[in-house]
Amino acid sequence: MATVKTATLTFRINPGLKEALRTAAAREHRSISNMVEVLIRDYCEQRGITISAPEGAKNNTSE
């Protein structure tokens, strides 16, 4: 299985939101980074926003 490269994202956040994010991640046994990714994916899915596959990623659908 090929590893997909990740992109770095740096941003500032209110300390209260950061603590809430840390709590949410801990409850789901996730890293903060993974929790942010899950939240973004959920947001996009709920609003019909398509997330494009990374370059070089194989399509796992069968024909």
pLDDT tens for the chain, residues 1 to 63: 667 788 999 999 999 999 999 999 999 999 999 999 999 999 999 999 999 987 766 655 544
Per-residue pLDDT at 3: 77
Per-residue pLDDT at 53: 82
What is the distance between the alpha carbons of residues 34 and 37, in angstroms, rounded to a whole number? 5
CA nearest neighbour of 9 among 42, 32, 30, 29? 32
Single pTM value for the model: 0.75
Tokens for 10, please give them.
Answer: 């740096």
- For the chain, give every domain's residue range: 15-46
Per-residue pLDDT at 55: 72
Per-residue pLDDT at 33: 96
- Asked whether the beta carbons of 35 and 24 are under 8 A apart, the reply is yes
